[in-house]
C-alpha cells in the first residue's frame, strides 16, 4: 500500500501548484525509496527514462523554420488568405482540420501535424482570420477560445486517429506489455481494429462541437457580456 504514497504526492503537489517537474521527480524518488530501490538504481531509472523517451521532444526541430517564416509575416499572410474565402468559418475550418489530422494519423502520418508544425503557423492564424473576416477585430476572450480549440482539434485528431494505425507507439506498447507479462500473442491489427469505433465517435463528437463553435463565437461577438457591476446587481 505504501507504493501509493507517490500517487498521493503527485496529487498534493499539483493541488499546491508546485512546479510539476519537482513534484514528479520527488514522487518518483519517494516511491522508489519506499519500495527499497537503491539510489544508483533510481539514478539509472532517471537516465534510461530520459534516454528512452527523447522522441517526445522531436517536434522542436521544426521551430527554426517556423520562427523564421513567422518573423516574415506567415501568420498575417494566413489570416489574409483565409479572409478571401467567406464561406470558411472558424468552426468549419477547425472541423476540416480535425478530420484531416485524424485520417492522416490513422495511416501512420502522425508527425505531419502538431502544435509547432501546423497549429501555430497555419491552423490558428487561419481560424482567427476566418473569425476576423466575420466579426472584425476580436476581443481577447474570443482569440483565447479560438486558440484553445485550434490546439484541441489537433490533439483529438491525433489521439483518436493514431491508434487505428498498427505500428504506432501505443499499440506496440500494449502488445509488448501484455505479451511479455501475460504470455499472450496479440495481433497489433486486432487492437487497431478495436480503436475504430472510438475513433468514429471522437470525430462525430468533437466535429459537432467545432461546428457549434461558430454559434458560440457569434454570441460572444454580438452580445457583449454586461459590465461586471451590472451582472452582480442581477444576482
SS (H, E, C) 9-23: HHHHHHHCCCCHHHH
Q: How far is the CB of 135 from another protein (least distance, A)?
A: 19
Asked if 221 is part of the footprint of another protein (rule: CB under 8 A), the reply reads no
Residue 124 · residue 101 · CB < 8 Å: no
Our CA angle for 130, 150, 170, nearest 5°, is 150
Residue 146: DSSP 8-state: H
Residues 133-172 that bind another protein (CB under 8 A): 140, 144-145, 147-152, 154-156, 159-160, 163, 167, 169-171
Asked if 174 is part of the footprint of another protein (rule: CB under 8 A), the reply reads yes
Asked if 190 is part of the footprint of another protein (rule: CB under 8 A), the reply reads yes
- CA 148, CA 10: separation in Å to the nearest integer? 26
Identify the residue among 16, 50, 84, 229 touching another protein (CB under 8 A).
50
* Locus of grid cell 537503491: 38
SS3 of residue 195 by DSSP: coil
Identify the residue among 12, 187, 219, 231 touching another protein (CB under 8 A).
187
> String of b and e for 133-162 (b: at least 16 CB within 10 Å)?
bbbeebeeebbebbeebbebbbebbbbbbb
Q: How far is the CB of 222 from another protein (least distance, A)?
A: 21
Q: What are phi and psi of 128, to 5 degrees?
A: -70, -40
Cell of 32: 522508489
Q: Which CB sits closer to another protein, 46 or 224?
A: 46
Part in contact with another protein (CB under 8 A); list of ranges 83-91, 129-137, 189-197, 223-231: 189-197
Q: How far is the CB of 210 from another protein (least distance, A)?
A: 9
Identify the residue among 15, 16, 64, 232 touching another protein (CB under 8 A).
64
Asked if 101 is part of the footprint of another protein (rule: CB under 8 A), the reply reads no
Total residues binding another protein (CB under 8 A):
120
Part in contact with another protein (CB under 8 A); list of ranges 82-90, 101-109, 129-137, 222-230: 101-109
Amino acid at each position: 500500500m505504501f507504493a501509493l504514497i507517490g500517487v498521493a504526492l503527485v496529487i498534493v503537489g499539483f493541488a499546491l501548484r508546485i512546479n510539476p517537474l519537482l513534484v514528479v521527480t520527488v514522487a518518483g524518488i519517494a516511491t522508489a525509496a519506499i519500495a527499497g530501490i537503491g539510489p544508483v538504481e533510481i539514478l539509472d531509472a532517471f537516465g534510461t527514462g530520459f534516454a528512452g523517451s527523447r522522441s517526445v521532444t522531436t517536434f522542436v526541430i521544426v521551430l527554426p523554420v517556423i520562427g523564421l517564416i513567422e518573423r516574415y509575416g506567415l501568420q498575417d499572410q494566413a489570416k489574409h488568405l483565409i479572409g478571401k474565402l467567406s464561406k470558411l468559418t472558424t468552426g468549419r475550418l477547425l472541423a476540416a482540420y480535425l478530420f484531416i489530422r485524424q485520417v492522416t494519423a490513422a495511416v501512420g502520418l502522425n508527425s505531419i501535424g502538431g502544435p509547432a508544425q501546423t497549429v501555430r503557423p497555419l491552423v490558428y492564424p487561419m481560424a482567427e482570420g476566418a473569425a476576423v473576416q466575420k466579426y472584425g477585430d476580436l476581443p481577447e476572450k474570443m482569440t483565447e477560445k479560438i486558440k484553445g480549440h485550434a490546439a484541441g482539434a489537433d490533439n483529438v485528431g491525433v489521439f483518436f486517429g493514431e491508434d487505428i494505425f498498427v505500428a504506432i507507439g501505443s499499440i506496440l506498447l500494449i502488445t509488448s506489455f501484455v505479451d511479455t507479462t501475460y504470455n499472450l500473442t496479440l495481433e497489433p491489427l486486432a487492437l487497431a481494429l478495436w480503436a475504430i469505433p472510438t475513433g468514429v465517435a471522437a470525430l462525430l463528437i468533437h466535429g459537432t462541437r467545432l461546428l457549434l463553435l461558430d454559434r458560440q463565437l457569434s454570441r460572444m461577438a454580438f452580445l457583449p457580456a454586461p459590465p461586471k457591476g451590472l451582472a452582480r446587481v442581477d444576482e
